Structure 1
Amino acid sequence: MDLSDWFKGFERGINRLTPEQRASFFLECAKNCVKCETLQIYQELYEKANGDLDAFFEEADKLPGVRSEIIEKGTIYHLYFMECSCMLYHQGYVSTPLLCECSRQSILYVLHSLWKDKRIRVTICESILRGGQYCKMRIEICSME
Structure 2
Amino acid sequence: MELSYWFKGFEKGLARLSDKQRSELLAECSKSCVRQGTFSIYQELYNQAHGNLDQFFAQANELPGVRCEIVESESVYHLYFESCTCELCTKGYVSTPLLCECSRQSILYVLSELWKEKRFQVTLCHSILQGASTCKMRIETDELKI
If the length of structure 2 is used for normalisation, what is the TM-score? Answer: 0.98
Where in structure 1 are there 5+ consecutive unaligned residues? none
* Residue 5 of structure 1 pairs with residue 5 of structure 2: yes
Residues 63-97 of structure 1 show CA distances to partners (whole Å, capped at 9, x for unaligned) of 01000000000100000000001001011110000
Please state how far the C-alpha of 1:2 moved relative to its aligned partner: 1.5
Quick one: which amino acid aligns to residue 36 of structure 2?
A: C
Where in structure 2 are there 5+ consecutive unaligned residues? none
Matched ranges for 1:67-82 at <5 A: 67-82=67-82
Residues 92-111 of structure 1 show CA distances to partners (whole Å, capped at 9, x for unaligned) of 11000000000000000100
Match of 2:55 in 1: 55
Match of 1:66 in 2: 66
Query: In structure 1, how many angstroms separate the alpha carbons of the residues matched to 2:6 and 2:47?
Result: 41
Query: In structure 2, how many angstroms separate the alpha carbons of the residues matched to 1:39 and 1:3?
Result: 27
Please state how far the C-alpha of 1:37 moved relative to its aligned partner: 2.1
Equivalenced residues, count: 145
Percent identical among aligned pairs is 60
Match of 2:108 in 1: 108
Match of 1:128 in 2: 128
Taking only aligned residues, the RMSD between alpha carbons, in angstroms, comes to 0.6
If the length of structure 1 is used for normalisation, what is the TM-score? Answer: 0.98
Match of 1:88 in 2: 88
SS at match of 1:130: coil
Quick one: which amino acid aligns to residue 73 of structure 1?
A: S
SS at match of 1:12: helix
Structure 1 segments (4+ residues) deviating >6 Å: none
Quick one: which amino acid aligns to residue 137 of structure 2?
A: M
